[in-house]
Structure 1
Amino acid sequence: MTATLDLADIQGHVLRAYARFGYPTGRYVFLNVTDAAAARRFLTDILPHLTTAVCWGEGKNEMAPPDLAVNLAFTYQGLKAVELPRASLMGFSPEFAEGMKARQDILGDDGVSAPEHWDPVWRDHLTRRDKDVHIAVLLHARMPAPAANTPEAIALAFRLSQQRLDQGLRWLRNLIADSGDGVTILGGHRGPDGELLDYQDVQTVLENGIPTAKEHFGYTDGIGDPVIAGVPYDADRVAGRGKQMDNGQWEPLAPGEFIFGHLDEAQEYPPAPLPRLLARNGTYMVYRKLHENIASFDAFLEREAAKAYPFEGGKELLAAKFVGRWRDNGAPLVTAPDPASKKAFDQRFAAASAQEQDKMLSDFTYDQDMSGARCPFSGHIRRINPRASLELGHQPGDPPGSFSRMNGAFDTPGALANRRRLMRRGLPYGEVRDRSRNDGNHGIIIMLLNADIARQFEFVQQQWVNYGNDFHAGNDKEIILGNHSADTRFASKAVLQVEPTGDQVPYLLGGIPRLVETRGGEYFFIPGMTALRMIARGIIDPT
């Protein structure tokens, strides 16, 4: 499918996972609109500083990467606060209008993840309208090239990135003051030692002062983000990230799965508000702050590994089963299903070029693992993106326990999963000071981009993360993100399958604790640049 995207009209946050482009630190600031006219002046002032999706480099129509990437998004209440016409507001989806807290039952935000336990910035508006989150300003700072390839030089370059972030916050504060205080910064983000901050800090996890691609559980992260048609800097990253075709090749996904005003995988335009220019090149962003229970994770892993895989390398094998990838370099289990094959994978990986390494991590299917013997049906990457593994059935004449693909039901093998894909942005936050404790300030800020919150994010969260029927796993939840119950009467489990033709017995992974807790979040709309100019001028006309 060919597609032409106006990169200058799309905000950079939509098409770039900034960390991959050398932006290892970020700061997210949330604003409340106190005066509509003054808020529109603020929008007018910040518009020239926003980062678009245009290519970075030295060629034609390219620009140098900015030291500070700046992007902006609105909640539904924020669009009301800057006085969008009612007819335009009515065109946004019901789930966006309701907001994340109203959708807690669908999302499984219960128990310790319920909104009453969220950070004050996401909780206080329940009783005070002047605490509503209206606008998000997302700042990401570029790390300069180190003076030398030494740990000391790399650590210094990282600190310079943090300094640029500090300068960016000062600039934003001044911009708000100069525009007439039409917006105020909302405090209430939990920080280190229980302090409350006026912003949410994020950064890549450091090892000895050096940035890594890890998150706090220890997994290499950010590997499988979708690739859509029309993005030049993703053209070589389609294998394993686009959509599977019948001929075994991969093609980019249709842009309309993620960006309004473009055709989606059903060859339709996603539902969007009027006028068309308000929606075009915009998208919905799901923002969630997820706390990671490090002590529970480590204890559960140690306990179950001693029973399930009591051999050298067994602990890391079980950790890989939780996610579907090995922790150290992200090797997929379908390619490296055991310690011996992982060793062989690592040898090939070390000798490969960067492009070949990327393909080794992403270019795989579940065609040879339909039983879940390698990557469990409750593993993270299988639940989030099952690829073509859901479109299966037992055909007449097949051996007992085997599966084969349904014939002729879909134009592409992964058609069902392609309508549920999510672009992922965000970074870890905090520092793990003591792995023997669950408290502390550490986790991940995840921002998921999609054109249809209900069909994409909410479906995946409700039906694939917190329920397993589509995977022939009953009500088994996804191991890492599932809202596992603290009530032992309803303890979560997952089945680690084995090869159907072997003589091993499946292992029941029982009593899974809640490994991740929701600490806040909201649904946002990221407008295109043309729409932002119209909003700033107050000239939105849905007729």
Structure 2
Amino acid sequence: MSKQLDLLDIQGHVLRAYGRFGYPKARYVFLNIRNSSRARRFVDAITQRVTTAVCWGKGPDDLPPPEWTVNIAFTYQGLKELELPRASLIGFSPEFVEGMKHRKDILGDDGPSAPEHWDPIWRDNRETRDKDVHIFIALNALAPPSPETGLAGIQQAMAQCDVFLEQAYAWLLEEVKKTEAGVVILGGNRGDNGALLDYQDVKVVMENGLPTAKEHFGYTDGIGDPVFEGVPYDEARVRGRGKQMADGSWAPLATGEFLLGHIDEAQEYPPAPRPILLARNGTYMVYRKLHENVASFDKYLKQEGQKYLGGEELLAAKFVGRWRDNGAPLVSAPDAASKKKFDEKFAQASPAEQDRMLSDFTYDDDMSGAKCPFSAHLRRINPRASLEMGRDPGDIPGSYKTITGAFDTPGALSNRRRILRRGLPYGDVKDRSRDDGNHGIIIMMLNADINRQFEFVQQQWVNYGNDFKAGNDKEIILGNHSHDPHFSSKAVLQVDPASEEVPFILAKIPRFVETRGGEYFFIPSLTALRMIARGVIDPT
């Protein structure tokens, strides 16, 4: 791996998915700026507590993980209110300037996902100055090891996590109070029974009193986040998470795909505002609140599972590209028999080996989509090298003699669309027979170019299937499937062309996920935060 990044200058949640590091609960708070100078003093106070990406755990310095983390980001309007120079503001990307609500047509946020149905905090955003979201603050709480064992120990750890979260929130409220209304917390986040809250709480899904890595549809989540150059605690996780090379090996992605001020996969610096110290080690964050229609999902899965030869669980795996229970990829376990063998090996494997089994695969032996369908979530979000044409197999398995794709790299088309994923589920499913309720997932996607990465994937790969030779077929889980029976969605589950099987057609797919709000944010480095707080940004 290349030279290590300056971890003390990068905000912690940029490089770390906190949930994987023992932080099962978080609270997201949104603020509006009423006085610029007092708001800058507030930013200065928050910056002193911001959690960086520096390594935790046993080592030369033996740095323990914090009891709670603090991270901060800003909307474009927030940066304007903080009085950044115009010469700096014009350097931010057009989509960031415009904001998510006004990009709804590109994102497919229509019908029940349209902005008029969003939570009030997002529905009213950018309509009036005093209701506009300017600052985002994330507070993540640690579940520390407990002296108790078993279920009692887990319950004690989760209770302590609640204590830490409330401590973090109390600290934030005190800092807001000190501004004397220079910044105010915005309400309007929908909670249980329609309540409007001053924050958005998120937490891991619990089953039988135990925390899981699942979301509300039952899929194991948080697998396969990209690995890029300079991150020390990802060095052993490159295979399946980096980029495929022509000789069959794997390498970390270029840092500039995720952090501004660094070289990207095109050997260029991504567009960024001036001066370089404002941009370097910062990134853009896409925040989206997604409601999950669990009743529609369960009903459709049962209905179609009765017709599908492999049954409900294999069909559920076809929706996503992974089996629901442990995340086994369909490429490695395409049917019940191979899944049984996978599970036996998985149960005996070390955590590192289990991690490799879940991520170290390609679609080289599944170019027909017979194992993992072209409309499955996994294949649409990260197609790996499966979109490349004109490849001849090499002498070494997984290698290629000739490549006619961009940059002579097998996965060049997908390498430029990779996205870091952060966030956790929200709410509890209290009645699986109903779609309404307060449950879904808060997903935060980090990338250096919102348009080239997030918006492209959302528009071209999630809501349109032409790149996958699937015409207008949408991605099964996240697609904005139409409620109009005359324009209902379908998806084809491919079969081996050499077999006598016929493809299975999923017809009249309901909309499983609906947007409930969101916005585009900029996450500055620690250097940039100090510059913003002191008002010393000079773009010349």
3-state SS of 1:510 partner: strand
Residues in 2 aligned to 1:124 and 1:247: alpha-carbon distance in whole angstroms: 52
> Is 1:110 aligned to 2:106, yes or no?
no
Residues in 1 aligned to 2:461 and 2:61: alpha-carbon distance in whole angstroms: 41
Matching residue of 1:215: 215
- What do the CA deviations read for 1:293-334 (whole angstroms, capped 9, x no partner)? 00000000001111122x6xx110000000000000000000
- What do the CA deviations read for 1:172-217 (whole angstroms, capped 9, x no partner)? 0001112333110000000011111000000000012211000000
**Contact 1:421–1:456 under 8 Å retained in 2:** yes
Residues in 1 aligned to 2:402 and 2:436: alpha-carbon distance in whole angstroms: 47
Matches within 5 A, 1:459-474: 459-474=456-471
- What do the CA deviations read for 1:310-363 (whole angstroms, capped 9, x no partner)? x6xx11000000000000000000000001110110000001111110000000
Residues in 1 aligned to 2:539 and 2:32: alpha-carbon distance in whole angstroms: 25
Matching residue of 2:266: 266
**Contact 1:3–1:255 under 8 Å retained in 2:** no
**Contact 2:391–2:403 under 8 Å retained in 1:** no
3-state SS of 1:307 partner: coil
Matches within 5 A, 1:373-452: 373-393=370-390, 407-409=403-405, 410-452=407-449
1:428 positional shift: 0.2
Matching residue of 2:454: 457
Over the matched positions of the two proteins, sequence identity in percent amounts to: 70
1:467 positional shift: 0.1
Matches within 5 A, 1:183-222: 183-222=183-222
**Contact 1:218–1:327 under 8 Å retained in 2:** yes
Matching residue of 1:295: 295
Matching residue of 2:530: 533
Residues in 2 aligned to 1:535 and 1:209: alpha-carbon distance in whole angstroms: 44
**Contact 1:11–1:53 under 8 Å retained in 2:** yes
Root-mean-square deviation over aligned CA pairs: 1.3
Matching residue of 1:325: 322
3-state SS of 1:525 partner: strand
Give, as a single letter, the amino acid of the residue that structure 2 aligns with 1:90: I
The answer for unaligned runs of 5 or more in structure 2 is: 393-399
**Contact 1:393–1:405 under 8 Å retained in 2:** no
3-state SS of 1:449 partner: strand
3-state SS of 1:489 partner: helix
Residues in 1 aligned to 2:182 and 2:224: alpha-carbon distance in whole angstroms: 40
**Contact 1:45–1:179 under 8 Å retained in 2:** no
Matches within 5 A, 1:215-294: 215-294=215-294
Matching residue of 1:400: none
**Contact 2:29–2:199 under 8 Å retained in 1:** yes
Residues in 1 aligned to 2:98 and 2:519: alpha-carbon distance in whole angstroms: 10
Matching residue of 2:395: none
> Is 1:23 aligned to 2:19, yes or no?
no
Give, as a single letter, the amino acid of the residue that structure 1 aligns with 2:346: F
Residues in 1 aligned to 2:245 and 2:238: alpha-carbon distance in whole angstroms: 12
Residues in 2 aligned to 1:116 and 1:192: alpha-carbon distance in whole angstroms: 20
3-state SS of 1:288 partner: strand
Residues in 2 aligned to 1:150 and 1:181: alpha-carbon distance in whole angstroms: 46
- What do the CA deviations read for 1:217-260 (whole angstroms, capped 9, x no partner)? 00000001000111111111111000011111111111100001
TM-score, normalising length: structure 2: 0.97
Matching residue of 1:342: 339
1:3 positional shift: 3.8
Residues in 2 aligned to 1:493 and 1:3: alpha-carbon distance in whole angstroms: 47
1:45 positional shift: 1.1
Residues in 1 aligned to 2:438 and 2:111: alpha-carbon distance in whole angstroms: 19
Judged with a 3 Å threshold, the aligned counterparts in structure 2 of structure 1 residues 61 and 359 are, in CA distance, closer, same or farther, namely: same
1:44 positional shift: 1.1
1:411 positional shift: 2.6
**Contact 2:4–2:232 under 8 Å retained in 1:** no
Matching residue of 1:355: 352
Judged with a 3 Å threshold, the aligned counterparts in structure 2 of structure 1 residues 282 and 341 are, in CA distance, closer, same or farther, namely: same
Give, as a single letter, the amino acid of the residue that structure 2 aligns with 1:81: E
Deviates more, 1:66-75 or 1:177-186: 177-186
3-state SS of 1:542 partner: coil
Deviates more, 1:170-179 or 1:215-224: 170-179
1:148 positional shift: 3.1
**Contact 1:39–1:181 under 8 Å retained in 2:** no
Matching residue of 2:396: none
Give, as a single letter, the amino acid of the residue that structure 2 aligns with 1:186: L
Matching residue of 2:397: none
Give, as a single letter, the amino acid of the residue that structure 2 aligns with 1:220: T
Give, as a single letter, the amino acid of the residue that structure 1 aligns with 2:463: N
Judged with a 3 Å threshold, the aligned counterparts in structure 2 of structure 1 residues 350 and 394 are, in CA distance, closer, same or farther, namely: closer
1:60 positional shift: 3.5
Residues in 2 aligned to 1:149 and 1:238: alpha-carbon distance in whole angstroms: 34
3-state SS of 1:147 partner: coil
- What do the CA deviations read for 1:33-58 (whole angstroms, capped 9, x no partner)? 00000000101111111000001123
TM-score, normalising length: structure 1: 0.96
Matching residue of 2:164: 164
Matching residue of 2:148: 148
Give, as a single letter, the amino acid of the residue that structure 2 aligns with 1:4: Q
Deviates more, 1:183-192 or 1:121-130: 121-130
1:111 positional shift: 0.5
**Contact 1:55–1:61 under 8 Å retained in 2:** no
- What do the CA deviations read for 1:475-509 (whole angstroms, capped 9, x no partner)? 10000000000001110000001011000001111
> Is 1:507 aligned to 2:529, yes or no?
no
Matching residue of 2:96: 96
Matches within 5 A, 1:115-126: 115-126=115-126
Give, as a single letter, the amino acid of the residue that structure 1 aligns with 2:51: T
**Contact 2:12–2:54 under 8 Å retained in 1:** yes
> Is 1:85 aligned to 2:81, yes or no?
no
**Contact 2:390–2:403 under 8 Å retained in 1:** no
Matching residue of 2:305: 305
The answer for unaligned runs of 5 or more in structure 1 is: 396-403
